[in-house]
Amino acid sequence: MKYAQFKNPGSTNGYHYIKDEEDAKYTMFIRVSEWVDVEFPQLPSEETVTAELAAINEQIRKTRIENQQKINE
């Protein structure tokens, strides 16, 4: 996948954004670097499944708290 740095000309904070080549067609950002081909090695599935389950469990916990607060009101 190819990536490059982009700058938002309307931003005063000077942040740069990294966009992939396909998304770059649809933005008003200015490219400030050359395209670089980046390969991301996959994490072992045990790590990603554990992280996904933790995120789902956290969302369930938050939803339960919000629902209980609504019931209590």
| More reliable by pLDDT, 6 or 19 | 6
What the block records as the tokens of 64 is 């339960």
pLDDT at 8: 81
* pLDDT of the residue at 30: 85
Q: What pLDDT, on the 0 to 100 scale, is given for residue 71? A: 96
Torsion of CA 16, 19, 25, 29, to 10 degrees: -10
Tell which wins on pLDDT, 7 or 13: 7
pTM for the full model?
Answer: 0.48
Of 35, 34, 31, nearest in space to 16 by CA: 31
Q: Say which amino acid occupies 55.
A: A
Report pLDDT digits (tens) over 16-63: 777 777 777 777 788 888 999 888 898 888 889 999 999 999 999 999
Cα separation of 49 and 65, whole Å? 24
Strands (E), the chain: 2-7, 16-20, 30-31, 36-37
